Amino acid sequence: MAPPLLLLQDIRLTFGGRPLIENATLSVSAGERLCFVGRNGSGKSTLLKIAAGTVEADSGTRFVQPGATLRYLPQEPDLSAYATVRAYVEAGLGPGDDPYRATMLMEALGLTGNEAPDQLSGGEARRAALARAIAPEPDVLLLDEPTNHLDLPAIEWLEETLKSMRSALVLISHDRRFLERLSKATLWLDRGTTRRLEQGFTAFEEWRDNVLHEEEKERERLDRKISQELDWVRYGVTARRKRNMGRLRKLEGLRQERRDQRRAVGSVKLLASEGDVSGKSVIEAIDVSKSYGERAIVRDFSTRILRGDRIGLVGANGAGKTTLLNLLTGVLAPDSGIIKLGTNLQMVTLDQRRESLDANLRLADALTEGRGDNVMVNGQPRHVIGYMKDFLFTPEQARAPITALSGGERGRLMLARALARPSNLLVLDEPTNDLDLETLDLLEELLDDYEGTILLVSHDRDFLDRVATSVIVAEGDGRWTDYAGGYTDMLAQRGAAAPTRTVAKTERKDDKKPAADKAPASRGKLSFKQKHALETLPAKIEALTAEIAKLEATLARPNLFASDRKAFDTANTRLAAAQHERDAAEEEWLTLEMLREELAG
């Protein structure tokens, strides 16, 4: 096995009382694809920061192979020290790195590089941080929630880009499809310790359930032993007591072992408060259109949504998903056409930006709206502490301000508030943001049991497949099409890739109207990426040819196999890879040169 490029051993870190991380290990070798999973608040992001060197552990060791390069994508990138996005991205390049790659990545992510950091939206800041982390093609790439704030086309672009890189990857993400497609091994952080599975995320959940089941069986065996020892203490012969102090000590040891066991964190208990039954027809749109200036957001769109439908809205950022959602729910009036809302509708909206949360409000007050200590759920009062526990909040957090909550905890709080209100129409705008995988599972089950109607905006492909009965897709130029089934069904019906990517920027802080699309790339000339590849591929082919010759000379040395088997295997493996890379580079150059000649002719 190759030596690790990055190694964490016996990491321990305590915040306040109980240790957050007690005995964590992380090993990353060249080319590995590792997904890093665990509950919200388990310490995943903190351990990744320790790996990146931005946080120091209380104890344990961190080792980075001398000469190895490492880049880290934080959840909340800070660009404040830079005048432009380009300056921020290029500051991540090392000596010898290609600045054209930084330009290419910014262009692919819809950035010019001239943007001022203080004017960026959250999505634009995330795109800039991705370009900075990926541009150097480091030996180890640590990514904390890389798909947050990205639309579906950008997520699929990122998948393909990461697949093509040689970098070792460590990924934290709530996007199942993203993890399934990229990971080859899984690291699970659970109750402060790490467990590793040498398979990708696809195999993780079954493995995790088996581990927890075995733990529960072991706990039951321990409980039986304690019960047996207690029976002996209570009913055993008194005269033997002095001779059996060892057995008493054994009992106390068993009790201590039981106390020290940390149970798996409980599951969120999700239950929606359902209102009265709505009419059969919930929403009907007839030839609806909406524009901002000269840009059409929705053009001549018609649909009919019936009670019990679960409708997913899909499209690139800036395509107008939120605008269409507001039109369908009557929040926004169309420029033309008719919106008919059904009878007896009780609508509850989950706000993706958490804007309805007063940051200075206490957690309990956010749930009770300041009206005593009870929350009304399904028409019945529940004490706020008990309701909080259903969503994995501790009683100590009841008086804590919302500013003290993590992103995942805010997501659970928004769910708790929304699900306590009676409804027969749930409007969910990016409900999966910051939720851990276990909470997502339970949310999917709740939505499956919900008898009302659901309107859903999401970039999570797996979530759409599991929840939606049909999806409405932005086709460009204000056109929207309704497809039966989930996201995968939509792709099959379209017979094409994901919705065409617009390079429209996400909304800026001072501009809440959708940004205009960039003009499409002109036909009849090579793209920037193609021109750059045409210029750089000959040098790459020459370098690979020289490396192949050197490796062949090494393998031709007499007695190398017998004297140094490891060096022989390493050279032989690299020779095969270098030959494959040269063949691919030559084929790519030939294809691009033929295209250039064709366009020039």
In the DSSP assignment, the letter for residue 478 is T
Instruction: Tell me if 43 is assigned to a ligand binding site.
Output: yes
Instruction: Tell me if 315 is assigned to a ligand binding site.
Output: yes
Instruction: Tell me if 259 is assigned to a ligand binding site.
Output: no
Instruction: Tell me if 41 is assigned to a ligand binding site.
Output: yes
Instruction: Tell me if 113 is assigned to a ligand binding site.
Output: no
Instruction: Tell me if 317 is assigned to a ligand binding site.
Output: yes
Instruction: Tell me if 322 is assigned to a ligand binding site.
Output: yes
Instruction: Give the strand order in the sheet containing 185-190.
Output: 59-64, 6-14, 19-28, 193-197, 185-190, 33-37, 168-172, 140-144, 70-73
Burial 352-374 (b: 16+ CB within 10 A, else e): bebeebeeeebbbbbbbeeeeee
Beta strand residue intervals within 222-346, DSSP E: 281-292, 295-306, 310-314, 336-341
Cα gap 567→570, rounded to integer Å: 5
Identity at 339, one-letter amino acid code: I
Give the strand pairing for 19-28 and 6-14.
antiparallel
Q: In the numeric block, which tokens belong to residue 553?
A: 């000379």
Instruction: Tell me if 242 is assigned to a ligand binding site.
Output: no
Instruction: Tell me if 67 is assigned to a ligand binding site.
Output: no
Which among 526, 521, 438, 524 is positioned nearest to 208, based on CA atoms?
438
Tell me the residue length of the chain. Answer: 601
Instruction: Tell me if 164 is assigned to a ligand binding site.
Output: no
To the nearest 10 degrees (0 to 180), the angle between helices 99-108 and 528-555 is 130
Identity at 200, one-letter amino acid code: G
Cα gap 172→175, rounded to integer Å: 9
Which among 141, 128, 35, 114 is positioned nearest to 77, based on CA atoms?
128
Burial 388-421 (b: 16+ CB within 10 A, else e): bebbbbeeebbeeebeebebbbbbbbbbbbbbbb
Cα end-to-end span (Å), the chain? 52
Instruction: Tell me if 42 is assigned to a ligand binding site.
Output: yes
Instruction: Tell me if 559 is assigned to a ligand binding site.
Output: no
Query: What's the helix, strand, coil split of the chain in %, to 5?
Result: 45, 20, 35
Give the strand pairing for 295-306 and 59-64.
unpaired
Burial 480-494 (b: 16+ CB within 10 A, else e): beebebbbebbbeee
To the nearest 10 degrees (0 to 180), the angle between helices 152-164 and 122-134 is 10
- Residue 181, burial from CB neighbour count under 10 angstroms (0-12, 13-18, 19+): middle
Instruction: Tell me if 522 is assigned to a ligand binding site.
Output: no
Taking CA atoms, 239 is separated from 235, 236, 323, in Å, by 12, 9, 83
- Are 274 and 378 within 8 A, CB to CB? yes
Three-class SS of 363-381: HHHHHHCCCCCEEEECCEE
Instruction: Tell me if 423 is assigned to a ligand binding site.
Output: no
Binding residues for ATP: 38-45, 315-322
Binding residues: 38-45, 315-322
